[in-house]
Amino acid sequence: MTLTPAAGVELKALLASNGTSVTDLLERLATRPKPPTDEDRKPIPVVVPVSDEQKKILKAIIARAEKFAFPAEPRVLTDAEAREAISIYRDIKQASAALANFEAAFKATFHNSLDVALVAAGEDKGVPQNGDGHYVARGEIAPAGIEVMIRRETSGGAAAALTLADLADMEAKGDITHKEYLAMTREVPRVLVPDAIMAHVRKAPEFTKVLKRYARLTTPTASINIRPNKVKK
């Protein structure tokens, strides 16, 4: 691990602080991806429409389900009832897929609206995009006159937690001894002991070179959610 003089001083200060956690250290050690350039940009995707066939299924299933006479008490279905119930249930399963497609189409529409607004405001520079081409950036669609709004929320992008498997891998590669592995964990069940790991780092600062190999960032994600909206008059 190569550190600039400034980074080395920062790391020493981090280790000197009693409030520093393993997560704080991993956050500092993790290699950050380079901000995306204009050449890296993916086009904002077009919304995939729901098929006419799926729309028909949704319209028909409600009428059929409402007409079905559910037994008032437990009993064996007649052949006629069973045929109708199975047929309706099959359509319900197909309708579930149609609803999922509708949900995906609306989510993509909300993403696109927020993405276009972000680009128009010139705030897209350096903002990552997900696999679909949507920006991983917070945003809201909150029109007047409705009690709920759409909020795009983000998560991820921070350091992933060190795992027991990571420590076991360190031991297998000879980076730590079995005694050190046991000192940094607790049995029944075997779990990490963060304070013990930090104590080991402070005792042997060169262990940060090992930790850096296991410092990884979680994937940044953006999700579309319905949230309460302060209704505007």
Question: pLDDT by residue (tens digit) across 200-213?
Answer: 999 999 999 999 99
204 domain-assigned: yes
226 domain-assigned: no
Q: Which domain holds residue 61?
A: 43-151
Which residues, at least 6 apart from 169, have a Cβ–Cβ distance to it below 8 Å?
214
Q: Is the domain of 10 the same as that of 68? A: no
219 domain-assigned: no
Task: Flag whether pLDDT at 2 surpasses 50.
Answer: no
What tens digit of pLDDT does each residue of 44-57 get? 898 888 888 888 88
* Burial of 205 from C-beta contacts in 10 A (0-12 / 13-18 / 19+): exposed
So what's the pLDDT on residue 79? 97
156 domain-assigned: no
Q: Is the domain of 109 the same as that of 173? A: no
Which residues, at least 6 apart from 100, have a Cβ–Cβ distance to it below 8 Å?
none
Determine what percent of the chain is predicted with pLDDT higher than 90: 62
65 domain-assigned: yes
Q: Is the domain of 57 the same as that of 99? A: yes
79 domain-assigned: yes
Strand order in the sheet with 139-141: 139-141, 148-155, 221-228
Task: Flag whether pLDDT at 6 surpasses 90.
Answer: no
Q: Is the domain of 62 the same as that of 137? A: yes
Element of type H or E holding 151 = strand 148-155
Q: Is the domain of 58 the same as that of 144? A: yes
Q: Is the domain of 24 the same as that of 56? A: no
So what's the pLDDT on residue 78? 96
Task: Flag whether pLDDT at 126 surpasses 70.
Answer: yes
Q: Give mean pLDDT, residues 75-79.
A: 96
Using omega within 30 degrees of 0 as the cis cutoff, is the peptide bond preceding 189 cis? yes
153-162, 166-175, 197-206, 223-232: segment of lowest average pLDDT: 223-232
124 domain-assigned: yes
So what's the pLDDT on residue 196? 95
The rounded distance, in Å, linking the Cα atoms of 55 and 105 is 13
How many domains does the structure of the chain reveal? 2
